[in-house]
Amino acid sequence: MKRKLNLLLVGIDSLRSDHMSLHGYPRLTTPHIDRFVKQGTVFDNTFSPHIPTTPGYTSMFTGMDCFGMDVVALRHEGGLGNHLTTLAEILNREGYNSTCVGFSGNPASRGFKKYIDFEGWGSWEAGRSHKAENLNAVTIPELKSLASQKQPFFLFLRHMDPHSPYLPPRPFERMFYNKNELDPKNKSLKPVYDFKPFCDYFASWFPPGCTDKDYIIAQYDGAVAYMDSCIANIFATVQDLGIEDDTLVVITSDHGETLHDHDCYYDHHGLYDCTLRVPLAFVCPGKVSAGLRFQDTCQTKDITPTILDILGIKPRIAWDGRSLMSLVSGKGRMPEPEFYITECTWMRKHGWRTPEWKLIHALEPDFHFKPEIELYNLITDPEENHNLATREPDVVRMLEARMLAHIARREKETGRRDPIYTNLNWHGKGTGPFRSSEEAYNGMHIGSPKAAKGLQAKELKTQRGAKKL
């Protein structure tokens, strides 16, 4: 009997697709990924509609939208609901070994048999961050071990290089920058240093005296390029082990990143497309066609149904997502051009995105002092710089009505209230909704990489039985 296909799922935290050469970025940031995915199929128009990390990965691992998974917040309280079955749990039942690298403690990572951690953060004081090399150091031995066993395996990697702090090692630090980052005449980082909630965090990893925002953006791009070079080692290991024809490789992200966009500064909040757009590629010789690219809109909730379709596993689960293999096979797929979007990182907002319009509705005042309603025309203003809410009230009402109708339908279908309405302690402050932007500005603060790391790692009782290294 032929062994079942292995699964290698590469989750690259905070990777915005428009900063990948794979998706047309002029800087050559992902040459190894670009070359590798030519063996498979790429989806150029993929969205992670529920940000940040916890709902992003929960949707990816369960095939559900926010109503189905009942998760919207980074600081989700408690574990995942018992109504959910994760990809790891499904594959465990199918006889797979499962290992999770770099994501222990988060509710979204429920179900793996084994957890392995690595140092994926950093600070200026600690020096340049070899995040991807740290990941490789623990992953490659585990990959070799899993490949040597009789059972098929599911290996999930959570890469952290595009996640702040952006501190790529040399020569990647200067790969995309040749100016003077300490130029006192450059004032582009002044608003960043003046932003009280994050300024202490930035000071912990920005070079002392840095004045140029372009240097920080170049560090992000350098971190992506450094990570890409290290991922090449993972691809080479798969090939050297002789398992490339027996392994499905999936490359994606939980969400994008805001750099100097929309005054959100080097993080991943704000429902703008720089945060919502993510890469997605499937590579599996003989199972996934090579050299295909699709512009059809798809979402992270489609990833688990697609993976299981390729693996030939058919659990009795009513996914919210749908397999993308109908597109790959040429059968077509009913489009889903408009969809619901949510965020609960540093702000609580939801909205509605169509091919032409983006509506963002704040459910409480935010610490950027942004208006309650934002409206962008994605055709004439794809970077979402011009809020048209006051000029186009009819469009706002139309999109709001479509969004509320969708919420009502999904609440009826799931029997649960929209979690964006019920998770009022999304910020972990125990104070309920903010009453003013001033209260949010003075109440939200991140002081160090250690504090940032702590926001994303909360040990779960459901994981205590799993092996952790």
Q: What is the pLDDT of residue 182?
A: 97
* Residue 266: partners with Cβ closer than 8 Å, 6 or more residues away: 164, 166, 192, 198, 202, 216, 220, 257, 258, 259, 260
Query: Residues in the chain with pLDDT < 50?
Result: 459-465
Q: What is the pLDDT of residue 124?
A: 86
31 dihedral zone (left: phi>0; alpha: psi -120 to 50; beta): alpha
Q: What is the pLDDT of residue 248?
A: 98
Q: Which residues pair with 278 in a beta bridge?
A: 46
The verdict on whether omega for the bond into residue 305 sits within 30 degrees of 0, i.e. cis, is no
Please report the domains of the chain, with CATH numbers, ordered by start residue.
6-336+458-468 (3.40.720.10), 339-443 (3.30.1120.10)
Phi, psi of 359 (to 5 degrees): -105, 130
Instruction: Tell the burial category of 377 from Cβ atoms under 10 Å away from its Cβ (0-12, 13-18, 19+).
Output: middle
Tens-place pLDDT, residues 64-104: 999 999 999 999 988 999 999 999 999 999 999 999 999 99
The two tokens of residue 150 are 């009789």
CB atoms within 10 A of CB 464: 8
CA–CA dist 394, 397 (Å, integer): 5
SS3 call for 278 = strand
CB atoms within 10 A of CB 100: 28
Q: Which residues pair with 267 in a beta bridge?
A: 258
CA–CA dist 151, 147 (Å, integer): 8
Q: What is the pLDDT of residue 18?
A: 97
Instruction: Tell the burial category of 53 from Cβ atoms under 10 Å away from its Cβ (0-12, 13-18, 19+).
Output: buried
The two tokens of residue 282 are 């499937």
Q: What is the pLDDT of residue 78?
A: 86
Closest CA to 36 of 230, 278, 258, 206: 230
Would you state the torsion angle of the CA atoms of residues 410, 416, 422, 425, taken in this order, to the nearest 10 degrees?
-110
- pTM: predicted TM-score of the whole model, two decimal places: 0.94
